[in-house]
Amino acid sequence: MIFCAEVRICIWKNKGMGVYNTPDGYKGVLDVMGKYYVIFNPLSNSGRGFESATKIETAVTDGEFEYESILSIEDIKKFMRELPEDKTLVLSGGDGTINRFVNTIGDEELPREVYYFPSGSGNDFMRDVRPDGNPGLVLLNTYIKNLPKVTVKGETYRFINGIGYGIDGYCCEVGDRLRQKSDKPVNYAAIAIKGLLFKFKPVTAAVISDGHKKVFDHVWIAPTMNGRYYGGGMKATPGQKRLNEDGTVTTMIFRGRSRLKTLLLFSGISKGEHIKHRKEVIQIKSREVEVKFDRPCALQIDGETVLDVKSYKVHR
């Protein structure tokens, strides 16, 4: 049953089974009753954020649920401190929602446990940490400690999944323009195909990895990854571990002279099979890396677009 006093705050009660913590932060099923306070992004999943957030009921089938739009919370740090201890805090949204959350929190230690339930369109973070696809809640605290940072155009941001630079940034740029004109879902695959075959011009990229410089020509993308996935399911760096002890990230250079061949090889990125082609795909592990293009291109940080970028630098 749903009780809604106003649009931004609702209480949902349901009976069934509850949840418990497993070692990797996943919440499984247990016969207990819980209280969950879900802060959701109403803009996620093409404006269906609240509807998507309530699907938490399929994963946590016992409890009392309260929902509040994260946009109505002026001070998230104060909010977390003042939320009653008997309520489990859940953040619901997409990768962009996590990104904005971690950049608001900064380097401060979270005052309480915060769980995540995916309700976005891409959900690459969830795809990475729950590869078996099981539903449930993931404890965020472990995954957002000491996140890598990217400095671009004089501003520094934390990121949860990866930095896209090249045709992936171009796709975000075109997608943003299309969303301004229409409410229809954006077909990023079609944008990428047109870009690879006709519209996007590859660049020359300089990569400075822990002080060592290499230059690559005919570069189509040059992302730096904290996890394995970005762009709504692209397995760009299959070997990258977001909780690795050495704190390294992976930069992946995808280059090629032929547009058609590049398109054919690019189709394997969803399964991570593109890395088999070592002439075209180069992976570089670093603690600190800077990528420079010979002309400005769009860049994306966990799906958020930055225009006219000539370089970015990732560091801790």
Predicted model pTM: 0.86
Mean pLDDT of the chain: 88
149-315 — its CATH code?
Answer: 2.60.200.40
Please tell me the predicted confidence (pLDDT) of residue 187: 86
Q: How confident is the model at residue 1 (pLDDT cuts 50, 70, 90)?
A: very low
Can you give the pLDDT at residue 159?
97
The token duo for 137 is 């809640």
Residue 167 to residue 252: CA distance in whole angstroms:
13
The rounded distance, in Å, linking the Cα atoms of 235 and 271 is 6
Segment 17-22 mean pLDDT: 42
Of the listed ranges 64-68, 178-182, 273-277, the one predicted with least confidence: 178-182
Q: Where are the domains of the chain?
A: 2-139, 149-315
More confident residue, 9 or 272: 272
- What class, spelled out in words, does domain 2-139 have in CATH? alpha beta
Distance separating alpha carbons of residues 195 and 107, to the nearest angstrom: 38
Q: What is the maximal distance between C-alpha atoms in the chain?
A: 60
State the SS3 of 59-125. Answer: CCCCEEEEEEEHHHCCCHHHHHHHCCCCCEEEEEECHHHHHHHHHHHCCCCCCCCEEEEECCCCCHH
Residue-wise pLDDT for 195-209, tens only, equals: 999 999 999 999 999
pLDDT score recorded for residue 132: 79
- Residue 228's pLDDT is 97
What's the confidence (pLDDT) of residue 22? 41
